[in-house]
């Protein structure tokens, strides 16, 4: 199994922590998932800044006769997730 290796960073601001997660998730396009979220407090303010990261949920299955051939099939910008021997 392979998936795209790229991820995208996003930010959102709010005065309410519960709204931060919603604001971050609203920026995640279809076919992607939020993989990281953290909160930062703004100095001398009640504002909170949420930092997040999302990546594609797309996965593909590839097949090869051996590990070297398998590695050669992984396109640039993609990463190998798991290997199954059958």
Digit-coded pLDDT (tens) for 10-46? 999 999 988 999 999 999 999 999 999 999 999 999 9
- Structural tokens at position 7: 């991820």
Range of the domain at 57: 2-80
The C-alpha atoms of residue 26 and residue 23 are separated, in whole angstroms, by 5
What domain count does the chain have? 1
Mean pLDDT of 51-66: 95
- pLDDT of 52 reads 97
- What is the value of pTM for the model shown? 0.78
Does residue 72 lie in a domain region? Answer: yes
Element (H, E) at 21: helix 17-26
Does residue 86 lie in a domain region? Answer: no
């Amino acid at each position: 199994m392979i998936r795209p290796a790229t991820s995208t960073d996003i930010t959102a601001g709010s005065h309410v922590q519960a709204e931060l997660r919603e604001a971050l998730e609203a920026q995640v396009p279809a076919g992607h998932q939020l993989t990281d979220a953290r909160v930062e407090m703004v100095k001398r303010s009640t504002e909170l800044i949420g930092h997040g990261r999302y990546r594609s949920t797309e996965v593909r299955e590839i097949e090869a006769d051996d590990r070297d051939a398998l590695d050669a099939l992984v396109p640039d910008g993609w990463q190998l997730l798991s290997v199954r021997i059958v």
